[in-house]
Amino acid sequence: MNKNKHLLLWSSLGALCLLVGAAVQENFLKEWRGIQASIQTDAGPADVRLRQIVAPKLGVTDRCVTCHVGMAPGEQEGSGHPLAAAHGPVGHDPAEFGCTVCHGGQGRATEKADAHGDVRFWPAPMIPTRYAYAGCGSCHTHIRVPGQSELERGRSLLERYDCLACHRVDGRGGTLRPGGVGGMEGPDLSQAGARGFDTRWHEKHLQFAGQPDKAGWQDAFTDIDTAERDSIEAFLTSRVGAPRLVDAKARFHSLGCRGCHKIGGIGGDDGPDLSRVGQRDPGQLDFTHVRGEHTLANWLSEHTRDPARVVSGSKMPKFGLSDDDVDLLTYYMLSLRRSDLPEAYWPKDRIQASRFGQREFSTDGATLFGTFCAACHGDAGQGRRFPGSPPMPAVGNADFLAAARDGFLESTIWLGRPGRRMPAFGEDAGGLRREEVQAIIAHLRREAGVKEPDRLHPLPRWASGDPDRGRSLYDRHCAGCHGARGEGTDAPALNHPLLQATASDDYFVETIRRGRRGTPMEGFGQPSTIHPVLALGDIESIVAYLRTWEKRQ
Amino acid sequence: MSTTAPENSPLRRFLHNLLQSPWHVRDAALRSGLPTTDRTRSNFVFGNVFLHLHSVRTHRWSLRWSTTWGLGLAATAAFLIALVSGVLLMFYYKPYPEAAYDSIKDIHFVVPTGRFIRNIHRWSANVMVVAVLLHMARAFYTAAYRKPREFNWLIGMGLLVVTLGLSFTGYLLPWDQLAYWAITIGANIAQSPREVTDAVGITETFDPGGLQRELLLGSDIVGEEALIRFYVLHVMLLPLALVSLLAVHFWRIRKDGGMTRPSDADQRLAPKADVYPVFTEAPQKTYQLAAIVKGASPAVGRGPENTVPSMPHLFYAELGVLMLTVLVCLALSMISDAPLKELANPSVPENPAKAPWYFLGLQELVAYSAFMGGVGIPMIVVIGLGLIPFLDREEAETGAWFGGPGGLRLVARSAVFGLASVLGIEAFAIRFGWLREWFPEIPQLVITAVNPGTLLAAIYAAYSLWIVRRYGSARAGALALFTCFLCGFVVLTVIGTHFRGPNWTFYWSPADWPRH
């Protein structure tokens, strides 16, 4: 019996010790208790208690404020601990929205690593502080953001017209006073896009400038022409209080990422949909070939830098981007979140974008070209080539534009080249509208200075010639790049049914005659060191041969 | 000065009764006064509805640690711990998808010591499964299932099934990825009779597998219906079933004459000073009734010599085991947190999705044939275990560890054979694949009949029959078969737990798993 008594005694004592240990740990050793105990407010020491923000409609139970005490609703800013600081000024009241809607992380947790989501099995860790504004993307879809060149134009116009003398934008300006008087004359424009601005600002400024009693106005403001006003307004519309995020979005929409990636249903389908890439679970990502920390931000930036190294077999080319570009793209991708919040909470811009068809990007030709075309065709349409894939045509080439009519260009963009890398961008595929496609074409023509060519012939099919002769000419001069059967090994695929269906004989004849200067495609109408000049009849024969592929398909 | 005696004064009598009432309540509760002497202690045990499950006196052999190693008690203790911690968790748990996950998070982060309580619940459940399995092995190796305890062996098997059921139903409740996919696997195993009905082509008209799965899940998928079903099973039906079976199990221990002990137990026990023949104490209780009872009652014709009063001797042992189990559960709960993965997401399958560890041996067999692994082999095992006491009708060496022809040598030899067979078959199947890899067109029924699981069962059965012939004893065959079964269970469970990765491919270590 003594053995059993000892067993009972020592087991009970051991169990008691562990229970006391658990009680001590629970009541005295919690980190948040220590933080709260060290905080002093004007009304004395802070209460030591669990604090939380609960918003049932948003599914938010955020206990972040248990440690970040100064940010708790109704709490005074205290001192004694860094976490006693209040939240910086922000458009949304944390008491209403909580913390995790914007910042990510695990709201229910009360321990640092868990709360910040730096633990296994929490799919939504906090957005790193330096990308903090990516959290806006949980709800917002900032609309009509121009491409980078447009954005820069607006920004530099603001500088050129010295608007920053009176106005403040993104923390700059508003310091110079006529006569050395302090204080800011004009309103801060950093959030002009979010809050809206008077569209008659230009007339009003002019009006003021004409009034003799407004000291300093007479020489401070001059007339601005319409094109420049448009640029300034586009820039102002993009001011939503998150300048780096908007820069990131502008950069993204200048590098042509949407040529392959859909976001919110708009874009090509050659790469993965990025609509919610900012919400990907880092626990589901492969970090085998990723240097550095195992975070979504790092994965995205490493992948953007060199896709095939991170995801073996990736078809995405390595673009050789600068560090800043990689950082900007990472920033924008982190903002692609689109959380499933109740529609009642959706902001105006998201409703405009998802219910009223408003674009997230500007719809001027330059921005559209940057958004959808630049990645493959080059930022100026000069064409590009990537290892392992046929070269992408130089669509900005003046010879090309002089041979192609707008209808042909439009249907090419609309229908794409199924089977090749050019996606269809038509409304029910890539999501572009007619007028947007036309804007892209107009942009190409404007940049190249080439107007739409006149028809050479009233009929689309007119070339007559001997296909057999065409064949021998083709084999000699064309097959090397375009492939023996026109399959387009190292040049555009000439046997593609959509090309055959949409291209006129005008286009073929003109292209063969002119060539495309600046590309490997030589013109056969001019003398050259490597091939003879072909007569029009010979060219027609080649076209007749090309047309035989159409019939067989 | 009043001359009235207290009993004559109503007020003083009232006051006296009022002051005495606590003691009167105590006496009324105890029926026979404080348990201070052996006799009053006996009365105390006898008169208490809970303690009455014990016999009043306990044989000294039963109190030897090596008789049972306290395994049955440990299993009961683990159940009690799980019961208490489980009831505490029920105050916070919300059995609805997503709300369930959130409530577990709340238990983790804001319920005072909630994480600790959940850990205790999880660890006590695992301790219980282990203790039940070891308890079964103990009962087998000491031949404790023999007459008159055959029925209690069957009750014990019922308890094993209910224990596994409790653990399995509890697995889903956190509603995380681990839970969701483990239950998906479990539900698919329930559906595995389809493998046969599909092969025969009668699934359209006769689909017991689909019916089983639907009964379990209440729907086609693991969803809110499944969650509420598992919850009701977990917190009400299965605990009630377990408690009822436990009561019968305990009651039968007493009725069947306490713990099994060897026939020479009395001689092997050293004489002990404070053990005295009870009859010399001139008991008030008469044994006349027992004396005229004929038949199988073990107390008939035997005096309570070499027994000690259950109170306190047995109770110290019981409480000791209880507190040791508590200590073990608390310590494990301090060291290791109960897992909680991401919120259940039907569109992101876990790979590998694994059932709870005690089913991973079966899942290993399911990988070859869902029907055999999920239904066939378990049924063979359950029927085989249930038949043991009815096939082994021998009496020699009951109550002795590894008692029976061959003894420990046979057990050791069978362990070597059992390990070699299971490792050999698994190594072969892992290295060279199985029928489907060699003959892609082979009918599924052939694989259902011939797969590593059935092959292993057949080898074990053949080996045991050979042992039966060789030793001329069913007990020897049972020793061989049970040992082989244990080896197979352990090896398959370890392989399923540690050596199977994505797509149930073999890996030496989880570190070698490919990432997506």
Beta carbon pairs, A and B, within 8 Å: 87
Give yes or no for residue A172 having a pLDDT over 90: no
- What 3-state class would DSSP assign to B307? strand
Residue among B102, B311, B316 with most chain A CBs within 10 A, to mutate: B316
Q: For tokens 């310091």, name the residue.
A: A175
Within an 8 Å CB–CB cutoff, is residue B516 touching chain A?
A: yes
Residues B369 and B272 in one domain: no
Report d(CA B162, CA B154) in Å as an integer. 12
Q: Does B335 touch chain A (CB under 8 A)?
A: no
- B177 CB neighbours in chain A (<8 A) are 121
Same domain, B332 and B366: no
Task: Measure in Å the smallest separation between the Cα of B185 and chain A Cα atoms.
Answer: 20
pLDDT value of position A94: 87
CB contact under 8 A, A7 and B348: no
DSSP conformational letter for B136: H
Judge whether A416 and A423 are in contact, CB under 8 Å.
yes
> Total domain count for chain B?
2
Residues B441 and B509 occupy one common structural domain: yes
Do B108 and B246 belong together in one domain? yes
A379-403: pLDDT as tens digits: 999 999 888 888 999 999 999 999 9
**Binding-face residues of A in 36-75 toward B, CB within 8 A:** 50, 61, 63
Residue A279 forms contact with B (CB below 8 Å)? no
User: In CATH, what class is A365-453?
Assistant: mainly alpha
Please give the Cα distance from A55 to A98 (Å, whole number): 7
CA pair distance B360, B60, nearest whole angstrom: 40
Report yes or no: B209 and B188 within 8 Å, Cβ to Cβ: no
Digit-coded pLDDT (tens) for A221-248: 788 889 899 899 989 988 988 899 999 9
pLDDT class for A335, splitting at 50, 70, 90? very high
- Tens of pLDDT, residue by residue over B417-457, are 999 999 999 999 988 888 888 888 888 888 888 889 999 99
Please name the member of B112, B313, B341 whose beta carbon is closest to the beta carbon of A121: B341
Burial class (CB in 10 A: 0-12, 13-18, 19+), B267: exposed
Bridge partners, A41 (sequence order): A44
| Rounded Cα distance, B380 and B383, in Å | 5
Can you give the length of chain B in residues? 516
pLDDT at residue A161 is higher than 80: yes
A173: part of which helix (H) or strand (E)? Answer: strand A172-173
Any chain A CB within 8 A of the CB of B326? yes
Specify whether B399 is located in the same domain as B433.
Answer: yes
Architecture of domain A148-239: Orthogonal Bundle (1.10)
Check whether residue B318 and residue B368 sit in a common domain: no
Instruction: Name the CA dihedral angle for B454, B459, B461, B467, rounded to a multiple of 10 degrees.
Output: -170
Respond yes or no on whether the N-terminal peptide bond of residue B352 is cis (omega within 30° of 0): yes
Q: Does residue A220 carry a pLDDT above 80? A: no
- In this structure, is residue B397 part of a structural domain? yes
Q: B110 and A286: CB-CB below 8 Å?
A: no
Residues 6+ apart with CB under 8 A from A525: A512, A513, A514, A515, A533, A534, A539
Taking the C-alpha atoms of residue B494 and residue B491, their distance in angstroms, rounded to an integer, is 5
DSSP string, A266-331: BS-SSS---TTGGG--GGGS--TT--S--SHHHHHHHHHH-HHHHSTT--PPP----HHHHHHHHH
User: B363 with B478, same domain?
Assistant: yes
Beta carbons within 10 angstroms of residue A213's beta carbon: 6
**Amino acid letter, A224:** I
Residue where a domain terminates, one of B289, B321, B350: B350
Average pLDDT, rounded, for chain A: 89
Same-domain status, B337 and B437:
no
What is the CATH topology of the domain spanning A455-553? Cytochrome Bc1 Complex; Chain D, domain 2 (1.10.760)
* A283 backbone dihedrals φ, ψ, rounded to 5°: -70, -20
Please report, in tens digits, the pLDDT of each residue of chain B (516 residues total): 444 455 678 899 999 999 999 999 988 888 777 888 888 888 888 888 888 888 888 888 888 888 889 999 999 999 999 999 999 999 999 999 989 999 999 999 999 999 999 999 999 999 999 999 999 999 999 999 988 899 999 999 999 999 999 999 998 999 999 999 988 888 888 888 888 888 888 888 888 889 999 999 998 888 999 999 999 999 999 999 999 999 999 999 988 888 888 888 877 887 766 665 554 444 455 555 554 455 555 554 455 678 888 888 889 999 999 999 999 999 999 999 998 999 999 888 888 888 888 888 888 888 888 888 888 999 999 999 999 999 988 888 888 889 888 889 999 999 999 999 999 999 999 888 888 888 888 888 888 888 899 999 999 999 999 999 999 999 999 999 999 999 999 999 999 999 998 888 899 988 888 765
Q: Which helix or strand (DSSP H or E) is residue B58 part of?
A: strand B57-59
Domain CATH number, residue B172:
1.20.810.10
Q: Nearest C-alpha of chain A: how many angstroms from B272? A: 12
Cβ atoms A444, A381 nearer than 8 A: yes
Considering only alpha carbons, which residue of chain B is nearest residue A119? B341
Contact A301, A333 (CB under 8 A): no
Distances (CA, A) of A212 to A166, A219, B126: 18, 11, 89
pLDDT at B347: 87
B84 touches chain A (CB under 8 A): no
Measured in degrees and rounded to the nearest 5, phi and psi for residue B280 equal -70, -15
Q: For chain A, what percent of residues have pLDDT higher than 70? A: 96
Do B443 and B363 reside in the same domain of the chain? yes
| B317 and A CB contact within 8 Å | yes
Dihedral angle sign, alpha carbons of residues A172, A178, A183, A186: negative
- Cβ-Cβ contacts under 8 Å, B110 against chain A: 50, 63, 108, 110
| Section A46-73 average pLDDT | 91
User: Both B342 and B388 in a single domain?
Assistant: no
- Going by pLDDT thresholds of 50, 70 and 90, the confidence category of residue A80 is confident
Instruction: Tell me which residue range forms the domain holding B361.
Output: 357-516
**pLDDT in the model for residue B285:** 53
B317/chain A closest Cα distance in angstroms: 5
Measured in residues, chain A has a length of: 553
- In the three-class reduction of DSSP (H, G, I as helix; E, B as strand; rest coil), residue A96 is classed as helix
- Find out whether A286 and B516 touch, Cβ atoms under 8 Å: yes
Closest CA to B177 of A283, A118, A117: A283
The tokens of B253 are what?
A: 């221990």
Residues B206 and B148 occupy one common structural domain: yes
A278 and A136 Cβ atoms separated by less than 8 Å: no
A8, A30, A62, best to mutate vs chain B, most B CBs in 10 Å: A8
Helix (H) / strand (E) element for B416: namely helix B407-432
Look up residue A440 and give its amino acid.
Answer: I
* B419-435: burial string, b at 16+ Cβ within 10 Å, e else: bebbeebbeebeeeebb
Q: How far apart are the C-alpha atoms of B324 and B318, rounded to whole Å?
A: 10
Contact B316 A23 (CB under 8 A): no
Torsion from C-alpha of A19, A22, A28, A33, nearest 10 degrees: -150
Q: Looking at beta carbons, which residues of chain A come within 8 Å of B324?
A: 7, 11
Q: What is the rounded CA–CA span in Å between residue B161 and residue A178?
A: 89
Residues B371, B462, single domain; the answer is yes
* CB < 8 Å to A108, chain B: 102, 105-106, 108-110
The answer to whether B138 touches B71, Cβ cutoff 8 Å, is: yes
At residue A432's C-alpha, the angle toward residues A428 and A438, to 5°, is: 130
Choosing among B109, B178, B311, B319, which should be mutated to test the A contact, i.e. which has the most A CBs within 10 A? B109
Question: What's the whole-number mean pLDDT along residues A426-448?
Answer: 94
CA nearest to B27, candidates B44, B45, B46: B44
Residue B44 lies in a domain: no
Fold (topology level) of A244-355: Cytochrome Bc1 Complex; Chain D, domain 2 (1.10.760)
Residue B374: the pLDDT is 85
Hey, do A244-355 and A455-553 end up sharing a CATH topology, with the first three levels equal?
yes
Asked whether residue B50 is assigned to any structural domain, the reply reads: no
| B250: in domain | yes
Residue pair A479/A379 in contact by the 8 Å Cβ criterion: no
pLDDT of residue B190: 86
For residue A551, the tally of other CB atoms under 10 A from its CB is 7
CA separation for the pair A472, A488 (Å, rounded): 18
Model ipTM value: 0.85
User: Per mean pLDDT, which of A176-180, A298-302, B212-216, B387-391 is the most reliable?
Assistant: A298-302
Distance set, CA A292 to CA A102, A126, A278, A300, B199 (Å): 25, 17, 19, 12, 52
**What distance in Å separates the CA atoms of residue A205 and residue A190, rounded to the nearest whole number?**
19
For the CA atoms of B444, B445, B446, B447, the dihedral, rounded to the nearest 10 degrees, stands at 50
Confidence at residue A78, expressed as pLDDT on a 0 to 100 scale: 82
DSSP state of B92: T
